[in-house]
Structure 1
Amino acid sequence: MKKGRLEIACFNLESARIAQENGADRVELCANMKEGGTTPDFEITKAVRNTLSIDLNVMIRPRGGNFVYSDFEFEQMKTEIEQFKKLKVDGFVFGILKEDGRLNKEQNAELVALANPLPCTFHRAFDGIKNKFQALESLIECDFKTILTSGVETNVTEGIDVLATLTEKANNRITIMPGGGLRSTNIGVLKEKTKAVFYHSSAITDSSEIANGNEVKALKANL
């Protein structure tokens, strides 16, 4: 089986450095870990970009909470994408839903077009969507390159069957990236069952917001 690739969600420069030093293939940079990740500070992103030689994706999310945004917040997301493009980041991570829990296809497609030619990942807003298989097709039509998901469950272990089905249905048209409770102890089983090629973890093993270098190494070793 092909060797999998690893993305580490980082909330600071130190974690990004640790991720790179211990074999991560990509960093997803966010702020506000307790909110599940929001748009990072511009200057911190600049410092991370200057430090990393591996790929750097940036979260575009104006606040924690739900994924339904006001017109003002949507404009803010557009401005942030334009600003971060100037830093030579490698991709963006975002997701917008409608009030009824369906995908907001129009707004997502607009952001993907704005980010072009940089690739976009639809984040775990996917886990709140009612019809996941219909959403999968819509996200492919929007030209997203990756979906970050726990398999519509609270974590990847519970969502393993859905992750396997999503990967199969995606059929290499979009990358299904398991994330949410992913650790070195369960990544091997996930890889075997889902056949996914990219995996996502914070590699945080204590109460700090710093990635654990040994955990990053172990995650990578089990791919």
Structure 2
Amino acid sequence: MKKNQLEIACFNYESAIIAQQSGAHRIELCENMNLGGTTPNSILVVKVRESLHIKMHVIIRPRGGDFVYSDEELIEMKQDIKQYKKLGVDGFVFGILKDNGKVNKKQNKELVHLAHPLPCTFHRAFDVVKNPEKSLEDIIECGFKTILTSGQGINVTEGIWALERLQELAGDRIQIMPGGGLRSSNIKLLQEKLDYTFYHSSAITDNTEMANPEEIKELLNFL
């Protein structure tokens, strides 16, 4: 039987431990919440990997800002994927666009190939693409397994209709993972519209970068 699952975006070691202890199915490890999440340093990756038995995906994003990367930044992303594969992570999260707002298929394919056989998620760069339906097909062609998106809304509640449409178009070819302002206060609304999937939340409920164990448990109550 299919069932919904929960991924927690963790910006530090403590949040990763909280996520596991609170019953999350997977974490996305990153740093710099104020930048929207960037590649975590290798010391943090090793420390979290050694402490977790749940799955751990790592974001590969060398800086905040846009999702158009220089040749030097692309080399850095490739080196991070090579290194973190050796450290036993379970998957990668990234997304590269062109200046015109289209998916950069060439560069994304290079990273997906490098990450193989680990699964890759195309992150919220999707929320700024010019043509979501064409971009969906391009991302599938690149070999990604999941798209993390708010449905191009400010948050998942605003993007709910787009999320529903994307899930219909995707079918079983790729997983659409709602994320962006997802909390226990609005997850039920999404579940009423969406098919079974992974849900993505930082579960942060205050001005810190720390996941709230009660919020994670509350989210899980709705799954």
TM-score of the superposed pair, with normalisation by structure 2 = 0.98
Counterpart check, 1:141 vs 2:144: no
Q: Distance in 2 between matches of 1:189 and 1:23?
A: 22
Residue 196 of structure 1 deviates from its aligned partner by 4.2
What does 1:57-68 align with in structure 2 at a 5 Å threshold?
57-68=57-68
Q: Distance in 1 between matches of 2:100 and 2:131?
A: 12
The answer (yes or no) to whether the contact 1:176–1:196 under 8 Å persists in 2 is no
Divergent runs of 4+, >3 A: none
Residue 176 of structure 1 deviates from its aligned partner by 0.1
Q: Distance in 2 between matches of 1:210 and 1:153?
A: 24
The answer (yes or no) to whether the contact 1:6–1:200 under 8 Å persists in 2 is yes
> Partner residue of 2:31?
31
> Partner residue of 1:112?
112
Structure 1 residue ranges without an equivalent (≥5): none
Counterpart check, 1:78 vs 2:78: yes
Q: Distance in 2 between matches of 1:195 and 1:155?
A: 19
Residue 188 of structure 1 deviates from its aligned partner by 1.2
The answer (yes or no) to whether the contact 2:7–2:200 under 8 Å persists in 1 is yes
The answer (yes or no) to whether the contact 1:150–1:180 under 8 Å persists in 2 is yes
Counterpart check, 1:157 vs 2:157: yes
Residue 3 of structure 1 deviates from its aligned partner by 2.5
The answer (yes or no) to whether the contact 1:56–1:90 under 8 Å persists in 2 is yes
The answer (yes or no) to whether the contact 1:167–1:196 under 8 Å persists in 2 is no
Q: Between Structure 1 and Structure 2, how many residues are aligned?
A: 223
Residue 2 of structure 1 deviates from its aligned partner by 3.8
Structure 2 residue ranges without an equivalent (≥5): none
Q: Distance in 2 between matches of 1:171 and 1:49?
A: 32
What is the CA RMSD across the aligned residues, in angstroms?
0.9
The answer (yes or no) to whether the contact 1:13–1:48 under 8 Å persists in 2 is yes
Q: Distance in 2 between matches of 1:58 and 1:2?
A: 25
> Partner residue of 1:174?
174
Per-residue displacement from partner, 1:65-104 (whole Å, max 9, x unpaired)?
0000000000000000000001100000000000111110
> What is the one-letter code of the residue matched to 1:181?
G
Identity between Structure 1 and Structure 2 (%): 63
Q: Distance in 2 between matches of 1:215 and 1:172?
A: 30
SS at match of 1:163: helix
The answer (yes or no) to whether the contact 2:2–2:196 under 8 Å persists in 1 is no
> What is the one-letter code of the residue matched to 2:52?
L
